[in-house]
Amino acid sequence: MPETLTVKDTTVPGAPEVAPEKADKARSLWTDAWYDLRRNPLFVISAVLIVLLLAMAVAPGLFTGTDPRKADLANRYLQKPHFGNVFQADWLGYDVQGRSVWARMVYGTRNSLSVGICVTLLVTFFGSLVGTLAGYFGGWVDAILSRLTDIFFGVPFLLGAMVILTSFAERKLYVVILSLAFLGWTQIARVSRGAVISVKEADYVTAARALGASTSRILLRHILPNAAAPVIVVATIALGGYIAAEATLSYLGLGIAEPTVSWGMDVSAAKDQLRTAPHTLLMPSILVSITVLAFLMFGDAVRNALDPKMR
C-alpha cells in the first residue's frame, strides 16, 4: 500500500493571517480614458488654456478694469503695445477709436465662448436625438431622418448661416447661436446613428429587450451611455469650429453687431491698419487661433483616450 505524503503546517502560531491579493477591479471605458488623459501632455496643455479662457469669460474683471466700449480718440495715437507691465489696461495699445485692445480681447472671450458652447450643446442634443431615433428604430424612420440629414448636410455651413443672418435686421447673440445650430447638427446625427446601430445589437441590449424592458429604458440606460463616446469626441472638436465660424461671420459684418464685443469685429475693424498698427489685427487674431487650437487639441486627446484602437 503506497505511503501517504503529508504536508506540515508551516504557519507560525499567533501570526496574523495574510489575506490573498484581490484581483484588480476592471476599469470602465471612462475610467481608463481619464487615466490616460491625465498623463497626456496634449490634454493638460489644452485643459489649462480652456480653463484660463473660461475664467476670462466668467470674470473678465479679474483681467482688466477698463471698459471695452470706452473710446477716447486722444488714445488712438498711443497704439503701440508696451510689454513692461501686463497688468496695465493699455499694455497692448489702443485701436483706431481709442479703445483698449486688451480689454476688448478679454470681454470678447465671453461672447465667442458663449456662441461655441451654446451651439455645441444645441447641435449635440438635436443631432443625438435624430441619430438615435434613426439608428434604433430603422426602417421608414431611419429613411426619413437620414434623408432629412442629407438635405441639411448638402447646404454649405457658412453660406447658409450668412443667408439666414442677412434676413435679420438686428443680429443679437442668440440669433447667431440659433443660426449656426440650425445647420450644424448633421455631423453629430450621422455619428450618433452609426454608434447606436453598432450598440443596439450587443448582448446586453438583447437581454434587456428579452426581459421586457421598455424602449425608453433601453435607450436611456443601455444604448445612449455606450454610444456617447464618439458623439462627445465630435462635439468637442466641433466647438472650436463654431468659435471660428462666429469670428468669420463677425468679420464679414454678418455676425454679432455693435455694441457687443467680438473678436471678429475687432479683426474686421483693424484690417485697414495692418501697416500702421498691425497689433490691433494680430492680437485678436492670435487669441482666436489659440482658442480654436485649444479645443482641437482637447478633442484630439479625448478621441485618443476613448478609442481603444488609438491606444
Domain limits at 285?
29-62+89-306
Task: Give the model's pLDDT for residue 90.
Answer: 66
Q: DSSP letter at 14?
A: T
On the 0-12 / 13-18 / 19+ scale of CB atoms within 10 A, 104 is buried
Does pLDDT of 84 surpass 90? no
* Residue 181 included in any domain: yes
Task: Give the model's pLDDT for residue 230.
Answer: 87
| Of 5 and 33, more confident | 33
What is the tens place of the pLDDT at every residue in 134-153?
A: 988 888 999 999 999 999 98
Task: Give the model's pLDDT for residue 308.
Answer: 58
Provide the CATH number for the domain around residue 104: 1.10.3720.10
| Of 269 and 49, more confident | 49
Q: Which residues contact 127 (CB under 8 A, 6 or more apart)?
A: 185, 186, 187, 188, 189, 191, 192, 231
Tell me the range of 5-9, 34-38, 47-51, 163-167 where mean pLDDT is highest: 47-51
Q: Which residues contact 4 (CB under 8 A, 6 or more apart)?
A: none
Instruction: Give the count of alpha carbons within 13 A of 147, CB side only.
Output: 5
* Residue 40 included in any domain: yes
* Residue 47 included in any domain: yes
CB 184 within 8 A of CB 123: yes
Task: Give the model's pLDDT for residue 77.
Answer: 54
Nearest to 240 by CA among 46, 38, 37: 46
| Number of domains present in the structure of the chain | 1
* Residue 131 included in any domain: yes
Question: The pTM is what?
Answer: 0.81
